[in-house]
A and B are shown apart, each in its own frame.
Chain A
Amino acid sequence: MSACDGCAGGTLATLPPPVPAIGLRQTTVALVGPPNSGKSTLFNRLTGMRQKVANFPGVTVEHHTGRVTLERDSEVVLVDLPGVYSLAPRSEDEQVTHDVLAGEMPGVAKPDAILLILDCTNLGRHLVLAAPILSLGIPTLVVLNMVDDLRKRGGEIDPAALAAQLGAPVALISAYTGEGVEKVSEFLNKTVAGKATRRAPAMQLPVLNDIPKCRAWAARVGTGADYRAPAPPVWTRRLDSVFLHPIAGPIIFLLVVCGVFLTIFYGADPLMKGLKSGVLISGAWLAQVLPPSPVRSLLLEGVWGGVGSVVVFLPQILLLFFFIALLEDSGYLARAALIADRTMSKFGLQGKSFIPLLSAYACAVPAIMATRTIENKRDRIATILIAPFMTCSARLPVYTLIIAAFIPNKPGAQAAALLGLYAAGFLAALATARVLKSTILKSTRTPFMLEMPAYRWPAWRSIGLRLVDRSVIFLKRAGTVILIGTVLLWVVAHLPLQDGHAPTVADSLAGTVGRTIEPVIKPLGFNWKIGIGLITSLAAREMIVGTLGTIYGMEGDEHSPGLQEALHKDLTMGGALALLIFFAFAMQCMSTMAVVRRETGGWKWPILQFTYMSGLAYICALIVNQTVSRLG
């Protein structure tokens, strides 16, 4: 029934909304709450897998939307807004929350109702947010989360009295155990049926701009609802006296960091090898099945090669996301940031930069996504800008190949070279951070403030959903860029056709480009073949290995002795060391650039970053090659 589709108001008020009309308009409900109120856990519980993540237009703030199916096949769209303490638009998060709720966000419908999630173990402080939310006049359900915790710790609240005070229904729930969540569904049903209403609150709302008055109002409301604050969390205090112990604390911190690091590298290794051989085997199978043609070549070398190089990183990325989610949800991440803060502050950064930088050792893409936990915008951008200096896994095949070919196989020499490259990247990151933070990204006045949430047993379902979510984003971002890159490279390596056949690499477009840039890279000790490798590695660093393999007509593998020997003929020691240094510093990664653009909301930072890193890589490689050739 669509009789009322386009008609405006008028007689509608006298008619009850016809039941079939429900499906015609999407009902939108916004989820609002302070950070650490359990918003995402509730969101995941309500929507499950039926969610997607997107950025609001024009800003870098991300939001999740999900669908909830209700009675009689009706549906609501849930929008998970960023965690905020107030609606005064001072940060980007608050601006977004304010704009969405006020119906001023382009492309997002003004919500029909609000779920206000508050942590009832800390009701006095969290209720402050109720004042600006209730004054919006939108039907609101006040969801008091973590009621299991409240009871366990001897706290109390009378939801009926609180509802009367606020003039809004109140639900006591535990998003973690699922207790009381049906009351949220009931409210959503009412909203769809257009029966969610607002009453005038018994207690007049305070002047919103005056925080002390708002806090006093919240205290009065709490008292009126017989709120008894819970006893301090005993377990959190006990755990903190270990995790933040002056001696045990840093030791545990180092153990956790090393544990995460080793698991990412060694734990993921068998899986990565398995996937790699899976890609190889399926590629070989495809090669047999398909008749020889340019299409087969494109499919195998372009598409399959591209998919392979992305998929191989997935185990590492998944493990990394799993650890980040685990640390975040358990509450340890805040303690780790606290312990790391002092060291990080020496380089102008802060404790929260630590985890993203650690993640960057696996891959800069998830690391840059992980910087979202840093509220201070300048600190966040500084972290994003230095993250690609960390030695990511994609550099390892290049390092392995060159080190095996050029560094004498004496005990320790090869390991020392590898360690030196890790150190070079790390030092470049710290030096860059220092420069950035004392020049263009000088800290704003927002100082370091970090809330220590109570320790909690992680909600596995929620972690699982987040893993899926993040991995899909990773595959989409990194995957599309690398796939496009490999296909493009295939094209330039196979054109122009000569007598209907693909040319040799030397005569291809890629070869022409390689020779064109040769004068520029000659001072670094690189010839045109390495030049082609540098260009292909723009899509993803490890691609230079396969490219060199193709050029020399050898197996494109970092352990291939043939390839190592072939390189020996074309590179001097100076050139080889220069190549290593070049890869340590250059931003040879389109996926990273794409993510930086998305996370910083424009091309300014990724272009600056690319120019700076390439410039640094060029100059350092030049110095290395010139010095070594003169000494040798």
Chain B
Amino acid sequence: MAAKPAAHRASGRSLADLRAGEHAVLDRLELPDDVARRLMELGFLPGHTVTPAHSAPGGDPRVFRVDGSEIALRRDTASHLLVRAS
């Protein structure tokens, strides 16, 4: 993944911070390489739009709509997927 401008890093907003139904564009995955690859195979690619949807009771884990699929992630994983500042 190419390095992103520092401005994005400073914003530091992640999927875990999004409200249900809010669209956001994925910027980067701050996770170990193998985990990041697995997530990318599921559609969590930089540049893709991600929308949080339903969740388990209590808000964790939450389902994310991305690339035509719905994938559930725990909050601690989602907090490492950073979105672009809009």
Interface residues of A (CB under 8 A from B): 85-86, 88, 90, 121-122, 124-125, 128, 211-212, 215, 229, 240-241, 244, 246, 249-250, 334, 338-339, 341-342, 345, 351, 445-452
CB within 8 Å of A: which of B35-62? 35, 37-43, 45-47, 53-58, 60-61
Q: A85-B41, A449-B39 are in contact. Are A342 and B69 (CB under 8 A)?
A: no
Of the residues B40, B55, B68, B73, contact of A448 by C-beta under 8 Å:
B73
Chain A interface, DSSP helix/strand/loop, else mixed: helix
B contact residues around A334 at 8 Å (CB): 72
Contacts of A341 in B (CB 8 A): 56, 60-61, 72, 74
Q: Which of A122, A244, A342 contacts B68 (CB 8 A)?
A: A122
- Residues in A neighbouring B58, C-beta threshold 8 A: 342
User: Within the assembled complex, what's the spacing in Å between the Cα atoms of A449 and B57?
Assistant: 17
Q: Across the interface, do A447 and B46 meet the contact criterion of CB distance under 8 Å?
A: no
Number of interface residues of B (CB under 8 A): 33
Q: Are B42 and A447 in contact (CB under 8 A)?
A: no
Inter-subunit contact A342/B61 (CB<8 Å): yes
Among B53, B56, B68, B73, which residue has its beta carbon within 8 angstroms of that of A449?
A: B73
The answer to whether A212 and B76 have CB atoms under 8 Å apart is no
Q: Are B56 and A445 in contact (CB under 8 A)?
A: no
- Complexed CA–CA distance, A97 and B74 (Å): 28
Contact partner of A244 among B40, B41, B54, B73, CB < 8 A? B54
- Interface CB pairs A-B, < 8 A, 21: A90-B34, A125-B68, A211-B40, A211-B45, A212-B1, A212-B47, A338-B61, A338-B72, A339-B57, A341-B74, A342-B60, A445-B32, A447-B73, A447-B76, A448-B77, A449-B39, A449-B72, A449-B73, A450-B71, A451-B72, A452-B72
Nearest-CB distance from A612 to chain B (Å)? Answer: 29
| Chain B nearest CB, measured from A57 CB (Å) | 26
B41 and A86: CB pair below 8 A? yes
- Find chain B residues with CB under 8 A from A240 CB: 53-54, 63
Number of A-B contacts (CB under 8 A): 100
B17 within 8 Å of A (CB atoms): no
Interface centre among B1, B38, B53, B60 (most CB of A within 10 A): B38
Instruction: Using A124-B68, A125-B43, A215-B45 as known contacts, say yes or no to A449 and B38 having CB atoms under 8 A apart.
Output: yes
A448 and B61: CB pair below 8 A? yes
Residue of A nearest to B47 (CB): A212
Q: Which residues of chain B are within 8 angstroms of A351 by Cβ–Cβ distance?
A: 61
* Most B C-beta atoms less than 10 A away, residue of A229, A241, A250, A342: A342
> Which of chain A's residues have a CB closer than 8 A to the CB of B68?
121-122, 124-125, 229
The smallest beta-carbon distance between B27 and chain A, in angstroms, is: 13
For residue B41, give the distance in angstroms from its CB to the closest CB of chain A.
Answer: 4
Please state if A85 and B69 are interface contacts (CB–CB under 8 Å): no
For A215, the chain B residues whose CB sits under 8 A away are 40, 45, 67
CB distance from B40 to the nearest CB of A (A): 4
Residues of A contacting B39 in the complex (Cβ-Cβ under 8 angstroms): 449
In the assembled complex, the Cα of A273 lies from the Cα of B57 at a distance in Å of 41
Please name all residues of chain B whose beta carbon is closer than 8 Å to the beta carbon of A244 when the two chains form the complex. 54-56, 63
Instruction: From known contacts A125-B68, A339-B56, infer whether A445 and B61 are also in contact, taking CB-CB under 8 Å.
Output: no
Cβ–Cβ contact B35 & A446, under 8 A: yes
The smallest beta-carbon distance between B45 and chain A, in angstroms, is: 5
CA distance A283 to B40 in the complex (A): 60
B63 near A212 (CB under 8 angstroms)? Answer: no
Given contacts A450-B71, A452-B69, 9 further A-B contacts (CB under 8 A): A90-B34, A124-B67, A211-B40, A229-B68, A240-B53, A241-B54, A341-B60, A448-B61, A448-B73
A446 to B46: give the CA distance in the assembly, Å: 20
Distance A229 CA – B43 CA, assembled complex (angstroms): 15
Query: Which chain A residue has the least Cβ–Cβ distance from B71?
Result: A451
Question: B45: which A residues are within 8 A, CB to CB?
Answer: 211-212, 215
Question: Complex formed: what's the CA distance from A449 to B69 in Å?
Answer: 12
B34 CB contacts on chain A under 8 angstroms: 90, 445-446
A90 to B73, CA, bound (A): 20
Instruction: Pick from A85, A121, A128, A345: contact of B74, CB below 8 A.
Output: A345
Among A88, A124, A250, A452, point to the contact of B57 (Cβ < 8 A): A250
Point out the residues of chain A lying under 8 angstroms from B76, CB to CB: 447
| A537 to B32 alpha-carbon distance, docked (Å) | 48
Cα–Cα distance between A449 and B11 once the two chains are bound (Å)? 25
Alpha-carbon distance A86/B34, docked complex (angstroms): 13
Distance between Cα atoms of A338 and B32 in the complex (Å) = 24
Contact (Cβ within 8 A) B77 A449: yes
